[in-house]
Each structure stands twice: as C-alpha cells, then as structure tokens.
Amino acid sequence: QSALTQPASVSGSPGQSITISCTGTSSDVGGYKYVSWYQQHPGKAPKLMIYDVSNRPSGVSNRFSGSKSGNTASLTISGLQAEDEADYYCSSYTSGTFYVFGSGTKVTVL
Amino acid sequence: EVQLVQSGAEVKKPGESLKISCKGSGYSFSSYWIGWVRQMPGKGLEWMGFIYPVNSDTRYSPSFQGQVTISADKSVSTAYLQWSSLKASDTAMYYCARSSVSGGWDDWGQGTLVTVSS
C-alpha cells in the first residue's frame, strides 16, 4: 500500500488561505469517509485536526476545514497564522491495510 | 482525561530484542483500537499496525508484517510493540495512538525514541 500523495510544501502569508491536497484511490480516500488530518510541530506528537473528511474535534480552530472530491481530500487553513507553521499529514482507511498516511506537507508561513 | 503514556527512550545494539509500551488511562482501554506509528529521522509518519485489545485482533501494514509484533495486555491497559532482532534502520521515533469512535486517531502518546547503533 503506497502512501497517499501530498504536496511536499505549501506556503502562504499571514491572513491568507491555503489548501493541502491528499490524493489516493478508490480503495482508500475515494471509497470511505474515514479521512483525517494531523498537524505535527517539530519534536511533538501529531494532533488530530479533522476527522471523517470534514469534522473538527472539540478545541480545533474553525479556521481548519476539510473536504473530499473523488479520490482527493483537501485541508484548508484560512486566516493563516504563524502558529500554523507545521507538517500536515492526511490519513485514510483503506481496504488493503486498514489505514495509510499521506506523504506529508510542510506548511510555511511567510 | 484520556492519556497514552509510552515507555522511555531506548539505545540498543543491532541484533538485540526490544519491547516498548503504551499505557492507556482515562477510558475503557479494551474498547478502542491502538495503532503504532513509525517516524524515521526527518521523515513522515507510517502506520505500522493496529490492535483491538478486547479480542487482540491485530493488523499489520505490509512493510512491517513479520518485522515487529504488536500485542496488548488488557489487565494493565497496555499495548506493546516488540522487535526480536533490531537493525540500525529501526532507529526512529515510535508513537502509539488511540482510535476515536469515528475514523480519526484522537489521542497520541508522547513518543518513544529508539536508537539502534553498534
């Protein structure tokens, strides 16, 4: 099972919106609603930001939103802030191996 | 409060065995999947495998099948990840995570750094 495909890096200025894509297949992203997104700051454990494609856990800013179209899921961060600079990973349930991560995206706030 | 507390950092030699742990508290340990994640230095996250403590149903990602063993002891609310013969390439940070009732993994351990060097 190959990792889901994410762009290696995305950048934006404070206040802007950015979108990170996560492309899989009909056996993972396209076939199930179980897509989640994780934020990881250097030296820290990952943190759940979005689950079930578009749901935010309690305590996560509403500046983070998720969506899916076909085999591609997306995470949008609006009103970009310095604290959003981190690595972001998608994860999807897969018929093959239970769950798979994306390749990861480094978000830089310019 | 849900907590996953992992065992401390380890330094081992190639060929040695190792078992690291992840102790859950603040919830019904048996009722939620536990996943193990590898993060090699400077690299991304990789799911290694999963265990459902209530019946020890275990799934391995293909890259890790036969390379590690995942287990759990409900009596002490602890999941384990073990190696029988470590390699230098096993040097990494290892995280455990708890599944939520949805498809997300909403609680994470603090990580266990494993260093394998001669």
**Residue B51 neighbours by CB distance under 10 Å:** 22
Computed over every residue of chain B, the mean pLDDT equals 96
- CB contact (8 A) between residue A46 and residue B100: no
Reported as a single tens digit per residue, the pLDDT across A54-81 is 999 999 999 999 999 999 999 999 999 9
Q: B29 to chain A nearest CA, in Å?
A: 19
**Where are the extended beta strands (E) located within A9-85?**
9-12, 18-23, 35-40, 47-50, 64-69, 72-77
- CB contact (8 A) between residue B59 and residue A97: yes
Minimum-distance CB partner of A57 among B47, B50, B106: B106
**Residue A28 neighbours by CB distance under 10 Å:** 27
Percent of chain B at pLDDT exceeding 90? 97
Identify the burial level of B8 via C-beta atoms within 10 angstroms of its C-beta, where 0-12 means exposed, 13-18 middle and 19 or more buried: exposed
Reported as a single tens digit per residue, the pLDDT across B55-105 is 999 999 999 999 999 999 999 999 999 999 999 999 999 999 999 877 799
- CB contact (8 A) between residue A45 and residue B111: yes
Handedness of CA B47, A25, B42, B116 (dihedral sign): positive
B6 chain-A contacts, CB cut-off 8 A? none
Joined together, the tokens standing for residue B47 give 């799911």
Task: Estimate to the nearest angstrom the gap between the alpha carbon of B47 and the chain centroid.
Answer: 9
- CB contact (8 A) between residue A89 and residue B45: yes
DSSP-based three-state secondary structure for B75 = helix
Look at residues B81, B106, B108 and name the one whose alpha carbon lies nearest to residue B96.
B108
Give the confidence band of B6 by pLDDT, cuts at 50, 70, 90.
Answer: very high
Q: Does B94 touch chain A (CB under 8 A)?
A: no
- CB contact (8 A) between residue B45 and residue A38: yes
**Residue A46 neighbours by CB distance under 10 Å:** 24
β-strand pairing of B34-39 with B92-99:
antiparallel
Give the confidence band of A1 by pLDDT, cuts at 50, 70, 90.
Answer: low
Minimum-distance CB partner of B103 among A40, A45, A93: A93
Q: Which residue is associated with the tokens 């030699």?
A: B13
Compute the distance between CA of residue A108 and CA of residue B9 in angstroms, rounded to an integer. Answer: 30
- CB contact (8 A) between residue A40 and residue B108: no
Q: Does B59 touch chain A (CB under 8 A)?
A: yes
Look at residues B83, B71, B98 and name the one whose alpha carbon lies nearest to residue B18.
B83
pLDDT at A96: 74
